[in-house]
Amino acid sequence: MSLDPSFARIAFLGLGKMGLPMASRLVAAGWMVAGFDPSPAAAEAFVAAGGRAAASAREAADGASVVVTMLPDGKAVRAVLTGPDGVASCLAPGAIVIDMSSSAPVGTRDLARELAGAGVVLIDAPVSGGVKRAVDGSLAIMVGGDKADAVRPLLDCMGSSLFETGPVGSGHAMKALNNYVSAAGLTAACEALRIGASFGLDPALMTDILNVSTGRNNSTDVKLKPYVIPKTYTSGFSMALMAKDLRTADDLARHEGIPAPLSRTVAALWQDALADLGAEADHTAIDAFLAALPTPPKE
């Protein structure tokens, strides 16, 4: 299947914080992209970027050779593809669906088998890097499935680091596990800063030391000084999405029968934070949740 930008029609379903800049990059690269999002503001922003806004997911996907989904979770992806008004039924055999959402890997494998019955190929290609890297096209993309080469030119428009992780579902597994490691690192960093501050250490100095020492991680690099220390909590990635990815990682460990006590603990902690702070809270507000926990007696 040719993906010549003069001929291939791309449908992009989900024009949220990540989806909009990703779809806009495809438009800027010359692809013919029809986008759909139930938010009128998102649709208007996509039109302003040069894309075509469709009135429904089916309208966007009608005649498309590639459908990209960037939705909240695998359940939403399944619904838009195979529900009563699902777009899979309007796709021609040989069409490719690229699920760039953070979906559950076991569900992705099941969905891939269902779509294969209609001649539609499913590739999972979740991303990491946040809104800033979605805008500049430097996302890390984890690609599971057998047709990655066919859509490589498209993925190259959105990411600078592409990794073929193996069979379908493996990309989603890698994304969930990456976010587990990220959340565990953020939790540890926030706890360390609170402990150190109580003892008299300066949090900014602590961050500088961590970043030239063995405690360095993504959170110490890019989250502590801009979002945690000043307590702005505005990184752009929600508490709800992180908690969901942590449940996915924990569910994967259970599915595989792998003992993962820290995964279970972190997932439970973030679920409590989600219940306390609400779905709209930024994920860096895990610091505020930790600060509000009951203070244990000093020894």
Q: CA 230, CA 135: separation in Å to the nearest integer?
A: 25
The residue from 17, 132, 147, 175 that is catalytic is 175
The residues, ordered by sequence, that sit 6+ positions from 126 with a Cβ below 8 Å of its Cβ are 99, 100, 101, 102, 103, 141, 142, 171, 172, 174, 175
147 counts as catalytic: no
CA dist 124 to 142, 151, 178, Å? 8, 12, 15
Q: CA 96, CA 123: separation in Å to the nearest integer?
A: 7
Collapsing DSSP to helix, strand or coil, 256 comes out as helix
Angle between helices 170-199 and 105-116 (to 10 degrees): 160
| Strand 9-13, strand 52-53: pairing | unpaired
Give Rg (Cα) of the chain: 20
**Catalytic site positions:** 175
